[in-house]
Amino acid sequence: MSSTPADFERLGKFFLGREKPKNPSGDETPNLLYDSKDLTTHAVVVGMTGSGKTGLCINLLEEAAIDKVPAIVIDPKGDISNLLLTFPDLEAKDFRPWVDPGQAQREGLDLDDFAAAEATKWKQGLAKWGQDGDRIRRLRENVELRIYTPGSSAGRPLTILKSFEAPSEELRGDSDLFRERISSTASGLLALLGLDVDPIKSREHILVSRVLEESWAAGKGLDLGRLINEIKKPSFKKVGVLDLDEFYPAKDRADLAMTLNNLLASPSFGSWLAGEALDVARLLQNSDGKPCISILSIAHLSESERMFFVTILLNEVLAWVRAQPGTSSLRAILYMDEVFGYFPPTKNPPSKLPMLTLLKQARAFGLGVVLATQNPVDLDYKGLSNTGTWFLGRLQTERDKARVIEGLEGAAAQNGQSFNRKEMEQILAGLSNRNFLLNNVHKDHPIVFETRWAMSYLRGPLTRNQIQDLVKQSGFVPESGSDQTRAAGGNSAADMAGTRESIPIEVKQQFVAPLRKPGPNDRLVYRPALLAQGRLHYVKASNPGVDLWQEVQLLKPVSEDDSEQSVWEDAETIADPLNLDSEAAPNSVFDSVPELLQSAKHFKAWEKELKDLFYRKLPLNLFGSKEFDTYSNPGEPRESFLKRLESLRPERTERIRKKYAAKFQQFKDQIDRAQQKVDREKGQLRGKWYDTILNFLSVIMALFSGRSIGRTTSSARSIGRATQKKADVERAQQTLEDLQNKYKDFETEFNNECNVSLDSLTLDEISIPSRKTDIAVQNVAVVWLPAIVSKAGIAERAW
């Protein structure tokens, strides 16, 4: 059955696919048109890798774009950025920059031919679903598609400074929401410092929360500098009934303030402070009033940075929601791809509380929350019990299916609906790729459907450079009014200008290309830093087997405060290659050169030190699991490794089964022999009692007949033998029961080992140093880092 636009182009209806026939007769089935209003009761999308989950979620966002519904998309892996790969002309040249060279090589095609094949495939795939380039063009015209990269300049940068401003008066007036906002903001900030804190027990959390409360309750915001000073010297003197210094001594507060200050002073944190303010209204609508789909790509961030940003973002969304008038229609979508770790069933990360509040309250204000995951066991189904829509794809394990069924039961009970567990289990067991079970509380029965062909080119996660190219193609130019950071010391551009002739002539100098040009009243200023590049060889023949070469680079901005001996110790490891030029940009000036960089002997000494530093500070870190007898791949994040462990569970269970098989058989043989002995002893006991009864009867007959009763002694002996045999039976019975109990204990031990929870799994951390003899220092140079400095002396990082 082919579709035509007349079948599915209806306002407020999301064309997600086509219903599957309920019988194999080949009957035509209708298109699945999902009522967008139903999304205000939120949705969950669950499916294993390869189930088509990403395609379904992108389809949903495409339909939102067609209907001009704005969305904020949290993209932890880089898949959803494919939404920008929409080509209305469907020509090979449009696909060419984005095709996967590895896939082309595997198919024996050069890139041009492979791009042509992909274009044809997409054109034909869309045509089968009644779609074409005109529909893609309408998608692009109806919304503005954006990619933001918080903590990076690859996409549109976002600053989080605004997030420490005082919440609105309305939010402050709601005591519960105000406390939640304070708690989650404090948790997110401390998570960025690597502190896993308990809001009730942690001194750090209580102190930071109190600082935020004192300032926000008075309607005053906090910049990060003031926050540090308030931590060091708070305006309050007591915490609860205790004096401040008794609760948190001044020295300890100073240490916490210094830790936060060091984080803010690091070069890597500079990108968090530059760019557009994190403003939910601006993420959902541009200055011309056009709806936006804003993709917040966070794949480049560390685990703690992701948690910090997601927590701050959810708080901002919650504040925005509370400022909106109530509505029953869909006003906007908040979508999070791969919610693993952010909404777990047992732990309480900083992101969980604002997420839970949004699920409870956002529906009244027209915000639909959509959460997607490959890991059903990592979702808090109690928190999702009032979620109205469930899109369920193919699941990997029986445990996954059981958790999903548990969630569906809870949702049905919450909405006062009946639930057919057996039917759901049968449907889930029969799903194939790109087939999903739709369970919608607004409908009478579940629906199985096949997802439609995506209008976006699904090429997989985008790299930093690809995101950079997309943003450049969109014509984005940072606004002159964006938040900025002040140059160290408050020097003007003229004060900072200097020469670089004092750097020894034999020292190589390179220039990081600026990302944008300075404005008419700005100047481009270069600041000196040390760059070290090397090549390391990690080898470990034993388990885990490793043989890996890696390119590494260290960056160290240099100031007059640095010493020759410690110059590399706090250098930053740069993951992505710097965009280096051999010449400075025109009309630029240079910061003064520290004395440390004016001596050639220092560079020679630093180059010698690098081999030892590379060996000491840059090991290859892997995760290992004794329970699963495997190790992570080089560069594999912890979350990905845990997901892979879950996929290895069937193999592990079979391995454990084989390990226990001999012991199980031994127990069964022992129990069989014990049972046979019980049966044998019972039979012998019956025989002894039979003999005893005969002897007694003989004695009685002798008494009546007047014969001799010499068999009396024999009868007594028979009774003794029968009593002894009864004891033998009891001993045999006890032996059997002991073996059966041991078997049950052993069976419990087996089940516990098979069903080990990933939440409680302890991972080993394996550190493999590079091979000293293979360490190669390839480059030690002075690299000049660009900054845009305004006439007022305000500097903004430009690389």
No. of helices (H) and no. of strands (E), the chain: 24, 27
What is the rounded CA–CA span in Å between residue 277 and residue 249? Answer: 35
Buried b (16+ CB within 10 A) or exposed e, 396-406: bbeebbebbbe
What is the pLDDT confidence band of residue 767, given thresholds at 50, 70 and 90? confident
Beta strands 776-789 and 523-540, pairing class? antiparallel
DSSP 582: S
- Give the lowest-confidence range in 17-21, 341-345, 527-531, 728-732: 728-732
Which of 278, 274, 255, 262 is CA-nearest to residue 185? 278
Global pTM reads 0.60
Question: What integer is the mean pLDDT of 132-140?
Answer: 95
DSSP 8-state code for residue 80:
G
pLDDT score for 23 = 66
Please tell me the predicted confidence (pLDDT) of residue 84. Answer: 94
| Sequence letter at residue 509 | Q
Strand 71-75, strand 292-297: pairing: parallel
Contact 282, 276 (CB under 8 A): yes
pLDDT at 400 (0 to 100): 84
pLDDT band of 359, cuts 50, 70, 90: very high
Q: How many residues comprise the chain?
A: 799
Q: Which two tokens stand for residue 230?
A: 């308030």
pLDDT of 695 strictly over 50? yes
The predicted-structure confidence for 435-456, as pLDDT tens digits, reads as follows 999 999 888 888 999 999 999 9
Q: What percentage of the chain exceeds 90 in pLDDT?
A: 26
pLDDT of residue 136: 96
Residue 760 has pLDDT above 70, yes or no: no
* Max Cα-Cα span within the chain: 142
With tokens 């020679």, the residue in question is 604
Q: Which helix (H) or strand (E) holds 70?
A: none
Question: Are residues 322 and 286 in contact, defined by beta-carbon separation less than 8 angstroms?
Answer: no
| pLDDT, greater one: 337 or 644 | 337
Q: How many beta carbons lie within 10 A of that of residue 138, not counting itself? A: 14
What the block records as the tokens of 263 is 């984080």
The C-alpha atoms of residue 444 and residue 799 are separated, in whole angstroms, by 55
Q: Would you say 642 and 785 are in contact if contact means Cβ atoms under 8 Å apart? A: no
Contacts of 243 (CB under 8 A, 6+ apart): 237
392 neighbors 431 (Cβ within 8 angstroms): yes
Give me the chain's average pLDDT, please.
Answer: 83
**Taking 90 as the threshold, does the pLDDT of residue 638 lie above it?**
no
Find the mean pLDDT for residues 106-129: 94
Q: Convert the pLDDT of each residue in 558-602 to its tens digit.
A: 776 666 666 777 788 887 788 888 778 887 888 878 878 887 788
Any idea which of 69-83, 299-313, 552-566, 729-743 has the lowest mean pLDDT? Answer: 552-566
Report whether pLDDT(480) > 50: no
pLDDT at position 712 is 52
Q: Are 260 and 231 in contact (CB under 8 A)?
A: yes
- The helix or strand, by DSSP H or E, that contains position 484, with its residue range, turns out to be none
| pLDDT for 557 beyond 90 | no
- Per-residue DSSP letter, 98: G
pLDDT of residue 743: 79
- pLDDT at residue number 710: 54
Instruction: Give me the amino acid identity at 348.
Output: N
**192-198 long-range CB contacts below 8 Å, 24 or more apart?**
192/263, 192/304, 192/305, 192/307, 192/308, 193/259, 193/260, 193/263, 193/304, 194/304
For residue 611, the model assigns a pLDDT of 82
Beta bridge partners of 551: 535
Q: Residue 751's CB: how many other CB atoms inside 10 A?
A: 10
* Backbone dihedral angles phi then psi of residue 301, each to the nearest 5 degrees: -85, 155
Burial code (b: 16+ CB inside 10 Å, e: under 16) for 639-669 equals bebbbbbbeebeebeeebeeebeeeeeebee
User: What are the tens digits of pLDDT across the range 257-290?
Assistant: 888 877 776 666 767 777 788 889 999 999 889 9
Assess contact for 381 and 339: CB atoms under 8 A: no
**Which has the higher per-residue pLDDT, 402 or 542?**
402
Q: Would you place residue 491 in the very low, low, confident or very high pLDDT band (cuts 50, 70, 90)?
A: very low
What sections of 572-648 are H helices per DSSP?
600-617, 638-647
CB atoms < 10 A from the CB of 428, how many?
21
CA–CA–CA angle 197, 369, 134 (5° rounding): 135
C-alpha 53, offset from chain centre: 16
Measure the CA angle with vertex 353, ends 352 and 356; round to 5°. 85
Please list the alpha-helical segments (H only) found in 242-324: 244-247, 250-265, 270-273, 280-284, 303-322
The stretch 540-554 carries a mean pLDDT of 80
What's the CA angle centered on 541, arms 535 and 543, to 5 degrees?
A: 115
Q: Model confidence over 369-422: pLDDT tens digits?
A: 999 998 888 788 877 877 889 999 998 888 888 888 887 877 777 766 777 788
697-718 pLDDT, tens digit per residue, is 666 776 677 655 555 555 556 6
Distance CA 174, CA 188 (A): 21
The rounded percent of the chain whose pLDDT value lies above 70 is: 87
DSSP 8-state code for residue 758: G
Let me know: does 237 contact 759? Beta carbons within 8 Å: no
Residue listed under structure tokens 């029953």:
328
Residue 489 pLDDT exceeds 70: no
The mean per-residue pLDDT over the stretch 481-508 comes to 47
